Structure 1
């Protein structure tokens, strides 16, 4: 019952956040963005004792994601600090999948990894000029490493054999790709809605996946 109530609160908070974006209510946005993440972390914490190593790692991944959110919300441009926080979160998520994966690397998984590698290279090439222009060499290195780690995290998710985990990783990938495209390539009209809806859903699915292992 507790998980159902918390899950409903997560979706209510996320919907309120979207409304705050539409209404341009800055104070609501500052409260609801981290507030929604705290509720999601609460979902993962309900039965953490029984979740083992996987659950503990997922919670740490969620906490570093929350830190990334806070950096990106600051009035000053703290994009690099936010990027580092999310980089750590992806490393932790990948470690969680390694701790619990149930599939061996077969031909299908090799194909998925190759597709992700090609997608990462293509996407980075499309962003490269914008990254150089807006952040210089340091940002090029940071973005290349970030694209690598989120691709690895997504690839690792397929070895978990859990639909919730795979969906969470793919939604996270989509959210970050949308944000990067808007920042470094071309402005997207509905960026905030696309980025945050997929982001909240990804994190919620990660939190729920704690109960699958």
Structure 2
């Protein structure tokens, strides 16, 4: 399939998924959720076909484990095992994004910035201090996951200094939306569930993955590639 076809599949899957949420049709949501990131994966592979880049494998790994996390979290309502497995799958996805962003930072010779660590650290300690009393047996997995996604955000903040401002904005905004989505999920699950929680979680998650895929695709295609 061509990139435009994968884009169309992503749009259709997104519309169908949110239609399922609006109509409270679980079967439609279950059918469409794995297609969301799968279609973005298909788009990324098709759009970067024939372009040599060592960054492709890290992005594909992140998307594959994201698809796995989506699938594992489908039956996770009330099932702690599936939730933990889904958490682990997304943790691995973030590790792939971390490896990718770190290599981009090194290739572009972007220096570290102390104030970005302070910003991310303040947010991490704020959200953890808020959630810790409510985590119960999942305290350690959630704390570790929070550290990993915070580090992913930290590296994305450094990438804002990439020479291609459009790519930089896509990657940073995508990382921010990912943190917002996971924070909303944690608050909704462990602190106080709200009726619109699912909409907040999924809309920011879909935007996050879309922006990250578009940013990485642009980074690879525009020639900002390392030697392979």
> Quick check: TM above 0.5?
yes
Q: What whole-Å deviation, never above 9, does each CA across 1:28-55 have from its counterpart, x for those lacking one?
A: 1111000122111111111244151222
Give the distance between the partners of 2:3 and 2:154, measured in 1 at CA: 28
Q: Does 1:127 align with 2:131?
A: yes
The range that moved more, 157-166 or 113-122, is 157-166
The aligned residue for residue 140 of structure 1 is 139
| 1:73 equivalent in structure 2 | 74
CA contact (8 A) 1:103 1:159 kept: no
2:44 maps to what in 1?
Answer: 44
Unaligned runs of 5+ in 2: 161-167, 220-228
Are 1:19 and 2:11 an aligned pair? no
* Offset, 1:126: 0.5
Asked if the contact 2:110/2:159 (under 8 Å) is kept, the reply is: no
Match runs of 1:194-209 below 5 Å: 194-209=200-215
Question: What residue number does 1:63 align with?
Answer: 64
**Match in the other structure for 1:158:** 157
**Counterparts in 2 of 1:208 and 1:171: CA distance versus 1, 3 Å:** same
Q: CA deviation at 1:129?
A: 1.2
The DSSP-based 3-state class of the residue aligned with 1:82 is helix
Q: What's the offset of the Cα at 1:27? A: 1.4
- Compute the displacement of 1:88 (Å): 0.7
RMSD: 1.7
CA distance in 2 between counterparts of 1:116 and 1:140 reads 20
In structure 2, relative to structure 1, the CA distance for the partners of 1:49 and 1:141 (3 Å cut) is farther
What are structure 1's unaligned runs of at least 5 residues? none
Q: Say whether residues 1:191 and 2:190 are aligned partners.
A: no
The 5 Å alignment of 1:102-117 reads 102=108, 104-106=110-112, 109-117=113-121
Alpha-carbon distance in 2 for matches of 1:55, 1:97: 12
Equivalence for 1:82? 86
Contact 2:171/2:216 (8 A) holds in 1: no
Give the total of aligned pairs: 206
**TM-superposition CA deviations, 1:1-29 (whole Å, max 9, x none):** 93334223312211210110111112111
How far apart are 1:103 and its partner, in Å? 5.2
TM-score (norm 2): 0.85
Alignment partner of 1:60: what SS?
A: helix
Q: 1:176 aligns with which of 156, 167, 182?
A: 182
The CA distance in 1 between the partners of 2:157 and 2:73, in whole Å, is: 29
